[in-house]
Structure 1
């Protein structure tokens, strides 16, 4: 009918909310050079680093947490992992520079790093929001459309502030890995309709919720920021739960068909109060 309103084609990109900027730094420690230093010099350098780490652990007195945490890597990929959560990339860069100017830095050999931002995908509500904006006569991609999305997600953003700007969980163990969604000729996540992807992500999320009492998961987005598309941090008191969670997820369609995984890094927490013991090899 001539009077029918023809709605524009809706975007296939889910709305995402972004929060803390996150940097993972992985290092190998130069034990040979370190042990050549006099004991008093080693102690002074370790004490300086412990003070820096203590400030970073405490985070901001006001506003977002802005914390860092140190972990001792298990396995051949390195010795230490530092993770930093900050309000901006500039804040991350300041943390990098402070570390680079510290006495411990000459003994840290970078093996890897990963830059990303905390990301929450709104698969469940994206289609509804897009439809409402289109019904109101707004065109996708216009300033008015973008303003409408911002307005409709403002309440959700505020309600999820603690997840978008999280404190670093105090758990003993950390498992970190990067991942992609496949986009090859035969299997392409990005070519699937929004509704199909939403349904698969819902199924995927149900598995994670079953482990919510034993694992804290923080997903960060890195498209355009690093070589992979997402980073995953899992925090737990029992490292075996990482195996159980990830193994179970391999059986759902999102992981079994569409996921590619990078290296896995498993580490154990080193609080600032115990950092000096780590550098002396006496950490229990």
Structure 2
């Protein structure tokens, strides 16, 4: 049965999947089954390794909350649904025990800097007059920056760095700390400060913010990719002091994961080669 093809107006679907491995069931596998299953997972990863989508990335969780972690990216809802089932079919029935899953989509933030913001900044902060060569040159640079930001926010290309951190979050809706009762100008000002904090980590942390309001139990998923765990700790800690986090954010569980190939996953998890 073919699934209906369902696309987004813009952006892609993202799914984070966390599993434990039932080792007792694994030990009951017939001889040679382990190698065959690993080869199936390797083939699936190789068939889905586009820079943005379709993409399947493998990780080992560090800390004991899960064993195996997978991040799936696909343009269509039916595509990511098939990829999810193709992934689980790489393992014998009952071996994978779901721990946590998260479905979201890439999106543009309503608080992102616009070209109109850039025009005002060029005039007020850089003292450039509209129509001058200097103004037009800088405006073209700002337009390209906004265009690139929009593209990579919607169609992210995460580097294959060693560490991936993930956590879901909500904006708070409690008494005097209700994010959704603030007016747009207040929210944009607060988010602007939050973004400036994040930009300080350019080159050390790459982030993918995905939205899930109405799709999953939280409102956003935050994926942070880095080469060291302490870098992720630093950025999350520093951002806690921004008012938008300190006053208006609630966080779910945090997962730290190591980027590994299927072959390395088998070795790291000490899965016997039955």
Q: Report TM bin, short chain.
A: 0.7 to 0.9
1:139 maps to what in 2? none
1:67 is aligned, of 49, 52, 55, to 55
* Equivalent residue number for residue 203 of structure 1: 193
CA distance, structure 2, for counterparts of residue 71 and residue 44 of structure 1: 19
Change in 2 beyond 3 A, CA 1:163/1:25: same
* Distance 1:194-1:207 versus aligned 2 partners, 3 A rule: same
Closer/same/farther in 2, CA of residues 245 and 19 from structure 1, 3 Å limit: same
**Shift, 1:21, TM fit:** 0.5
**Native 8 Å contact 1:174 1:269 kept in 2:** yes
Tell me what 2:184 maps to.
194
Q: CA deviation at 1:59?
A: 2.8
Provide the aligned length of Structure 1 versus Structure 2: 238
1:111 to 95, 99, 102: 99
Q: Which residue of 1 aligns with 2:24?
A: 32
Give unpaired runs (5+ residues) of structure 2. 1-8, 118-144
TM-score w.r.t. structure 2 length? Answer: 0.79
2-side partners of 1:220 and 1:199: how far apart?
21
For 1:161 and 1:196, locate their aligned partners in 2 and report how far apart those are by CA, in whole Å. Answer: 26
| Residue 226 of structure 1: how far off its partner (Å) | 0.4
1:165 aligns with 2:152: no
Query: What does residue 52 of structure 1 align with?
Result: 44
SS in structure 2 at match of 1:51: helix
1:279 Cα deviation (Å)?
Answer: 5.6
Give the gaps of 5 or more residues in structure 1.
Answer: 1-16, 130-154
Q: Equivalent of 1:233, from 216, 223, 226? A: 223
How far apart in 2 are the matches of 1:50 and 1:39? 19
- Mapped pair 1:122 → 2:114: no
SS at match of 1:123: coil
- Of stretches 167-176 and 273-282 in structure 1, the one that deviates more from structure 2 is 273-282
Q: Residue 22 of structure 1 contacts residue 117 of structure 1 at CA under 8 Å; is this kept in 2?
A: yes
Q: Deviations over 1:137-171 (max 9, x none)?
A: xxxxxxxxxxxxxxxxxx96687323311223201
